[in-house]
């Protein structure tokens, strides 16, 4: 599906939430803080713990999907970066269907863990991005090259003033480089310059947050974004550890 198809699907996306509005207001008022120097970090997944947690939590769905996820991650670990992006993106799109939080979870702005998303077999843009992010970290792409990016997605063509909130995953080959975007609504992996329907609002990874598409860090992502802090804590209980060095 191309960008035109993406615009059609975006008509079904949720309206701007109170959470997103509050985040955007806070970012507008934040001073730009110096970016801390950090070593590259990755992710580790304890699949034995994940399987145990799946059973204890009473998660529905086929537990074999965990084995499929683990097998895919093992397979891509020795591949080059382009293939890692391609195969992780393909796995997520093949495994999940798009569904909004309100109909899936009975509430808006619920950021699901990878286990919760796999158990449902469905998720919205944040859920797709979170499992892609964790998968690529586990596959050996360091945290400093990845950002979860909140964007405004334009609907109705280049001149349309209508936008909707959306999230994509950005891979940055080098600091300051143009990101390559993975999107829940289209399977194509495209450079940001080819996604003229998207306008970045803020971005973040496991430790930091940035206002807009570029600039200095605006502080700690976990301190500023309570849904992100919450889902990271839940992932840890399910066997996903971030900030793991290699």
Domains located in the chain, CATH noted: 3-30+41-244 (3.10.620.30)
Alpha carbon 196 to chain centroid distance? 20
Quick one: what percent of the chain has pLDDT higher than 90?
65
Q: What is the pLDDT of residue 158?
A: 76
Q: Which is more confident, 138 or 40?
A: 138
What CA–CA distance (Å, rounded) separates 184 from 166? 9
Secondary structure E strands in 135-244:
146-154, 163-171, 180-182, 190-191, 198-204, 209-211, 240-244
pLDDT, averaged across the chain: 85
Per-residue pLDDT of 101-119, as tens digits, reads 999 999 988 999 999 999 9
Q: The pTM is what? A: 0.85
What CA–CA distance (Å, rounded) separates 38 from 220? 13
Q: Which residues contact 4 (CB under 8 A, 6 or more apart)?
A: none
Q: What is the pLDDT of residue 134?
A: 98
Residue with tokens 């143009």: 178
- Token digits for 18? 């109170």
**Do the beta carbons of residue 133 and residue 109 sit within 8 Å?**
no
- Count Cβ atoms below 10 Å from residue 101 Cβ, excluding itself: 20
What are the distances in angstroms from CA 27 to CA 31, 210, 211? 8, 9, 6
What CA–CA distance (Å, rounded) separates 47 from 70? 7
Q: Which is more confident, 23 or 57?
A: 57
- Count Cβ atoms below 10 Å from residue 157 Cβ, excluding itself: 10
What CA–CA distance (Å, rounded) separates 229 from 220? 10
What CA–CA distance (Å, rounded) separates 38 from 122? 34
Is residue 10 pLDDT above 50, yes or no? no
What CA–CA distance (Å, rounded) separates 81 from 163? 32
> Measured on CA atoms in the order 60, 64, 69, 73, is the torsion positive or negative?
positive
Secondary structure E strands in the chain:
42-45, 97-98, 122-123, 146-154, 163-171, 180-182, 190-191, 198-204, 209-211, 240-244
């Amino acid at each position: 599906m191309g960008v035109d198809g993406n615009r059609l699907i975006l008509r079904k996306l949720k309206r701007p939430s109170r959470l997103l509005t509050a985040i955007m207001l806070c970012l507008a008022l934040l001073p730009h803080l110096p970016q801390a120097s950090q070593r590259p970090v990755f992710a580790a997944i304890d699949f034995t713990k994940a399987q145990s947690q799946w059973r204890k939590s009473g998660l529905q769905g086929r537990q074999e999907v965990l084995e499929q996820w683990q097998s895919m991650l093992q397979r891509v670990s020795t591949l080059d970066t382009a293939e890692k992006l391609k195969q992780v993106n393909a796995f997520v799109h093949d495994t999940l269907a798009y569904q909004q939080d309100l109909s899936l979870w009975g509430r808006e702005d619920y950021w699901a863990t990878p286990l919760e998303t796999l158990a449902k077999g469905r998720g919205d843009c944040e859920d797709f991005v979170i499992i892609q992010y964790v998968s690529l970290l586990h596959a050996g792409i360091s945290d400093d090259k990845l950002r979860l990016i909140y964007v405004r997605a334009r609907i109705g063509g280049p001149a349309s003033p209508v936008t909707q909130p959306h999230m994509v995953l950005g891979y940055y080959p080098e600091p300051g480089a143009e990101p390559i975007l993975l999107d829940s609504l289209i399977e194509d992996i495209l450079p940001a310059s080819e996604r003229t329907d998207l306008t970045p609002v803020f971005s973040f990874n496991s430790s930091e947050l940035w206002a807009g598409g570029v600039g200095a860090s605006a502080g700690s992502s976990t301190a500023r974004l309570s849904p992100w802090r919450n889902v990271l804590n839940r992932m840890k209980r399910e066997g996903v550890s971030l900030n793991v060095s290699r």
